[in-house]
Amino acid sequence: MNFELTEPNQTMSSLEIAKLTGKEHKNVLADIRKMLTELEIKEAEFSAPYKMPSGQNTTLFNLPRRECDILVSGYEVKYRAAIVDRWHELEANEPIELMSYDMIAQLATQMGNSQRALMAVEAQNNRLNARAKNIENVIDIEVQRINTDINQLQIDSQNGVPLGYMSKKNAYLLYGLDFAPKAFEKLMAGMPVKTKKYVHTEAGHSSRSVAYHTNDVIIAVKNVKSNIIQLSAHRATCTLVLNSNFRYK
């Protein structure tokens, strides 16, 4: 007889994302379709039919945590925070299917060994403790990431960076530290990352500069890291960028 702990996969619907961010559902659907296309994921993996209150048939998406994080990474900070708070609420309330102590007793009877029953109880408690610790770590990491992003975005906003974009410096600090600075800039130039010219103002000095689209940077870094070929201990190339040979980690 086998007993297992199971954990259902949590998802968040495009309708809930629209409600939390204040965006129209059709715009959220467009954002999701664009993201899935760039990630080379088929829409059918996350789409589902939905009947609107008006009776009209349409489609919605149910996104797992990873795809939801990628989607809202380009949204305003207050909307991203609302999504993160909702995920924490979902994960805190997520049911865990546990072996009942009656089952453990039955297992002990079948095994004819009370010591093994005790081991089963301890194993179950260890799983619960590990799960609780994991949730705490996830919350700590998300809070630190949001605080860091807020600080960097506040700096960028003060320095004239357009909404939805980030300065090259902050893009590197947030997402490019595994690469040498020049290598990161070259990789971004070789990937489909939208840029926008702006006047950078800092410490009373102004200069013309170029900002990266935030969501494009996140997707580009993910794709680069997924297609890296290590040439030596500290040199690598990326199959997505022609003639790329750079210092990596």
User: Structure tokens of 249?
Assistant: 């980690």
**DSSP code, position 179:** B
Phi-psi region of 6 (alpha: psi -120 to 50; beta: other; left: phi over 0): beta
Which tens digit of pLDDT belongs to each residue from 101-124? 566 666 666 655 556 666 666 777
C-alpha to C-alpha distance for 101 and 201, rounded to whole angstroms: 65
C-alpha to C-alpha distance for 205 and 221, rounded to whole angstroms: 31
Kindly tell me the sign of the dihedral angle through the C-alpha atoms of 95, 138, 220, 226: negative
Would you list the domain boundaries of the chain?
A: 12-92, 101-156, 162-247
User: 179-187: long-range contacts at Cβ-Cβ below 8 A with a sequence spacing of 24 or more?
Assistant: 179/246, 179/247, 179/248, 180/246, 180/247, 183/246, 183/247, 183/248, 186/241, 186/244, 186/246, 187/220, 187/224, 187/238, 187/241, 187/244, 187/246
pLDDT of residue 6: 39
User: Structure tokens of 165?
Assistant: 């974009």
Which tens digit of pLDDT belongs to each residue from 52-64? 778 888 889 998 8
Closest to 161 measured CA to CA, from 114, 201, 109: 201
- Residue-by-residue pLDDT tens, the chain, 249 positions: 443 333 446 888 998 888 888 889 899 999 999 989 988 889 888 988 888 778 888 889 998 888 888 888 777 777 777 787 777 777 666 555 555 556 666 666 665 555 666 666 677 777 777 777 777 766 666 666 666 666 666 666 678 888 888 888 888 888 888 888 888 888 888 888 999 999 988 877 888 989 999 888 989 888 888 888 888 888 888 888 877 787 776
> Quick check: 63 and 12 in contact, CB under 8 A?
yes
HSE-CB for 120 with a 13 A CA cutoff: 22
